[in-house]
Amino acid sequence: MRSTRRLEIAILLLFASMPFSGQTSAQNGENSPVAASAKVSSTQKPGGTAARLSAIVASGRLEDLRWPNFSDYRLHLVNFYRPSGYKLAWVRDGEPTPQALEVIQILQGADREGLRAEDYDASRWADRLKLLQGSHDSADEALFDAALTVCIMRYVSDVHIGRINPENLGFEFDVSHKKLDLPHFVRERLANGSDLHSELAGIEPPFPSYQRLRTALLHYMELEKGGDGEKVLDVGGVSPGGQYAGIAGLTSRLRLLGDLPDSVKIPPDAKVYEGPLVNAVKHFQERFGLRPTGELDYKTVVEMNVPLSDRIEQMQLGLERFRWLPYQFKQPPIVINVPEFRLYAFNDKNEVGLTMRVNVGEDYSHQTPMFEGNIQYLVFRPYWTPTPNILRDEIIPDMEKNPSLQDQNLELVSSSGKVISSGNVTPAMLQQVRAGQLIVRQPPGPENGMGLVKFMFPNQHDVYIHDTPASLDMFSEATEGEEGELKRVASHGCIHLQYPDKFAAWLLRDTPSWDSDRVEKAMHDGRDNLQVNLAPSVPVLIFYMTVVVEENGNVHFFHDIYDHDRTLRQELALGYPYPK
């Protein structure tokens, strides 16, 4: 009823600065005597509202908005209003519809979705609603209607496919095939809808990991309300059992972040770093990609003292990237999270059936690209043919210094595959290599650059998943970086596996006659360059998330090894309209 609507408007005015997440219970208005007596004054001219709406839409700009330029959505607004003859969608008889009030609540709660509520005019709706409550004209209603349409269209698109086009940042994920028919969705599902929250939930990323991250974000937002608290004291490093003057601050921080349960009591006058505190620090270190030694070293203290606002922003960036991903896969995918240095293989139940550590491309100079592909086949005991860049920058200079192919475990072959030389390289041969007339390759074996098996998903980057040469141990403590940070960045962009045999067995688990024993034999005693095709191919997703939430709720943060977080943060700060 109309009186109910007016009550809702009053509530929105009162709590306009608060984030909303609940649903409204308003129903469509009825012409009751009470509603009639409460009707506001609206000065209308025949056709005036439609003309004003049409003019606003045609201009692609509305100065009353936080981000006035909506030229990138102008055509969507044309297709939204034109079928009805530019009839108001959110205002009836001079008042906002129940759907309009619910949409405003949703926009005001955008922070809870990892978005920025102010991007959708969160603090401006109170004044707009107040204006509609008093005497107003058709221009006010047209402005209100257009503003709400622009804001909700932006919100719907942002929740569904993200604000930033990933391809603009070098992430090769095509979101165009996921795009909604915005005019239809907003008109039929929202402006004329009955359960707006459910409609919007249906266009969010469908991944459980997305929902876990969103839940963690809400938790950290609540933590931030209480402040960061006392910083952890840095005294240059403390070993378990050592004296430490910052026990109280450390205890408080570990409790705040969830690494030290409230049930564990630490004496307020404690001076020795030991017992439960050491275990809690190890838990923290594990969550932040550090060696879980329990040492209260510089890197650990720095990570502990990162403001909660920074962690919240990190989660917001993660939610943004989730929206770039394909929402459906033809087969259970392989997902590689580069900052985590980890591979996840999913089964038919969308559960993680296999996981392992990986090694990725070196920082900056040989970054592993972010894209999706399909693993089409495996090659056991493969040859390795260096990429043009590696050949030019590394192999040829090495040959100039040392012409012995045997020393470098290389051979020269013709375009037909005939071995020309495995001895010394002559100047004439080297010139043929430079001209592309002779091919440099590494024969199969344990010291091959691909190891004993490679997994092929043809792509423009010549990036593969593969084994590691036997003499190169990439997964021991020797590969850890400074200050105890686990560091797995040592390739030219390819992805090295911790357990290539297990990964091969996983991919071939439904292939007749292939089991783990046959995989082991193919790797160590089998025929050279044996190709095994996968039918069907298996989707692989190389992605970048610096925060991951486990099923048990543990939140893991990882180092922004390629500065992709920083770049995304800068792009989002520019505001609308974002390049599409």
Cα separation of 277 and 249, whole Å? 12
Between CA 278 and CA 284, with CA 281 as vertex, the angle to 5 degrees is 155
Task: Give the Å distances, CA to CA, from 98 to 88, 193, 548.
Answer: 14, 10, 38
Please give the backbone phi and psi of residue 219, each rounded to the nearest 5 degrees, phi first: -65, -45
Say which residues have a Cβ less than 8 Å from residue 172's Cβ, sequence separation at least 6. Answer: 166, 369, 370, 371, 372
Indicate if 466 belongs to the active site: yes
Sign of CA dihedral 218, 222, 228, 230: negative
Determine the 3-state secondary structure of 351 from DSSP.
coil
Contact 559, 289 (CB under 8 A): yes
Cα separation of 232 and 227, whole Å? 14
Contact 293, 484 (CB under 8 A): yes
Burial 263-283 (b: 16+ CB within 10 A, else e): eeebeeeeeebeeebbbbbbb
Q: Given 494, 496, 559, 564, which residue is catalytic? A: 494
The count of residues in the chain is 580
End-to-end distance of the chain based on CA atoms, in angstroms?
Answer: 42
DSSP state of 118: G
Contact 440, 410 (CB under 8 A): yes
Q: Given 466, 492, 559, 564, which residue is catalytic? A: 466
Question: Which residue's structure tokens are 């269209």?
Answer: 153
Across 276-369, where does the E strand assignment appear? 334-337, 342-346, 352-361
Cα separation of 128 and 117, whole Å? 16
Q: Which residues on adjacent β-strands are paired with residue 421?
A: 412
Cα separation of 110 and 19, whole Å? 8
Question: Which residue's structure tokens are 């259970």?
Answer: 332
Reply yes or no: is the peptide bond before residue 206 cis, omega within 30 of 0: no
Encoding tokens for residue 364? 């900056």
Encoding tokens for residue 81? 């209003």
Say which residues have a Cβ less than 8 Å from residue 213's Cβ, sequence separation at least 6. Answer: 315, 318, 319, 322, 547, 548, 549
Cα separation of 126 and 120, whole Å? 13
Cα separation of 172 and 48, whole Å? 47
Cα separation of 89 and 80, whole Å? 9
Indicate if 494 belongs to the active site: yes
Contact 440, 363 (CB under 8 A): no
Q: Which residues are catalytic?
A: 466, 494
